[in-house]
Structure 1
């Protein structure tokens, strides 16, 4: 079953005085199945961050449609977008986006508090997720008291506590050391094996090689895609690296 469907997506930015137009995305089409783990890659300026912002309903497309479980997100009114994001989307960012004046526990609770959930229900959800992510022992600490890896696992807990239809991750390993990166990727693998749909934008070949499919964007278009299939992570790593080499060299790829 398709969770996400993107049809003929286009995004054009106009300069301040309307003199120039820049087409950031051109005729983007793809879909994501329930339980898929998809990575999006491309060099800086390729359009992948623009695409993620539009999928996250933070930016609006110039034209095209996005369907999340059959609902056209481009038709949602501005005053309903925050509620929609809170109820259907989970977000993990490179810089964690945690509130330093809130404890780890309260940072995770935040989306549920905004949704008006009862404390007893929130506590039950938190206990399960914190245990799964290995952060039960730091819940009463503050973000400035824990490591980068623990901050990112806190951010993941906050993102999934609302049981989102899809987890959107923007360079989630970008601020982490090698060990913390490995720990986070293990967390993503476990979440995905439990059925969580994940869409991740990344520059990291290591991170992308954990995904089941990688979409490559070049000049605002889908350039190529690689399916993991029966490949090991090492084989997927090499396939992604080879594809990026061709992409950066301006060559062509065929399925």
Structure 2
């Protein structure tokens, strides 16, 4: 059974008086296997962010099904959604979403604190993770004292500390310079090779070329996909670039 299964997913936004409708997702179908590293790409307005928000249970689909390890996400009661996200999902955002009034350690601890874990347990989980991510010396610093790359590593630690089934990353390299971007992508690759499943939305061909599979969204539906297979990273980059060129054509046809 796939880790994540998306079937006939639709999301329609209706104006206040029902006069206008925007079909953000029209018929999305795909699966993600445990241990996969999948990137989602498409032009602005294609539905990538809407899809991520629905998968993260931050928004409800209009219709369709989302199964995470066999559990239907869209039917979870609102009162239980926050706890579900903490237990099953990890989030990495473009703008880090760290609290400047908390030091880095407390930012990482936050999902565990909300789950009422004891300090000793939290510290036992954090120490090897911080060492693995190279941020052990940053624990007592505050986010505003850190570089973009350092803040993103802290954010990744916060996402991983709960041992989530799925990491959802929204443009994780968008606020980073080229060096920090490369370091982050290599870090994601190591995390994935260790068994973590990652689903990443990105505009970056470079970021997507690190994934094992790339899904392309056009007009609210999955238009095409590319598997890495035996492609080199350069070959994957070229294949992604060619597909994006096709997507940008006004008369592009399904492939």
Structure 2 residue 220 is matched with structure 1 residue 220: yes
For structure 1, the 5+ residue unaligned runs are none
1:132 aligned residue: 132
Q: Aligned partners of 2:202 and 2:129: how far apart in 1?
A: 24
Partner of 1:28: 28
SS at match of 1:2: coil
SS in 1 for 2:45: coil
Q: Is residue 2:115 matched to residue 1:115? A: yes
Contact 1:94 1:175 in 2 (8 A): yes
1:64 matched residue in structure 2: 64
Separation in structure 2 between the aligned mates of residue 183 and residue 9 of structure 1, nearest angstrom:
34
| Mapping 1:130-169, distance limit 5 Å | 130-169=130-169
1:56-77 deviations in Å (ceiling 9; x for gaps): 0000000001000000001100
TM score, norm. by length of structure 2: 0.98
2:51 aligned residue: 51
| Aligned: 1:210 with 2:214 | no
Gaps of 5+ in 2: none
SS at match of 2:3: strand
Q: How far apart, in 1, do the equivalents of 2:179 and 2:59 lie? A: 34
Give, in whole Å, the separation in 1 of the partners of 2:67 and 2:173: 28
CA-to-partner distance for each residue in 1:206-241, whole Å, 9 max, x for gaps? 000000000000010101000000001110000000
Shift of 1:39: 0.2
- What's 2:253 paired with? 252
- Whether the 8 Å CA contact 1:246–1:253 is kept in 2: the answer is no
| Cα distance in 1 between the residues matched to 2:176 and 2:153 | 11
Counterpart Cα distance in 2 of 1:42 and 1:9 = 17
Once the two structures are superposed, what CA deviation does each residue of 1:9-66 show, in whole Å capped at 9, x if it has no partner? 0001001221011111011110000000000000110001000000000000000010
Q: Distance in 1 between matches of 2:36 and 2:132?
A: 20
Question: Structure 2: how far apart are the matches of 1:154 and 1:56?
Answer: 20
Distance apart, 1:252 and its partner CA: 2.7
Aligned to 1:98: 98
Is contact 1:224-1:253 (8 Å) kept?
yes
Partner of 2:30, secondary structure, is strand
Aligned length: 254
Q: Distance in 2 between matches of 1:89 and 1:189?
A: 18
SS at match of 1:223: strand
Q: What is the RMSD computed on CA atoms of the aligned residues?
A: 0.7
Deviation at 1:160, TM superposition (A): 0.7
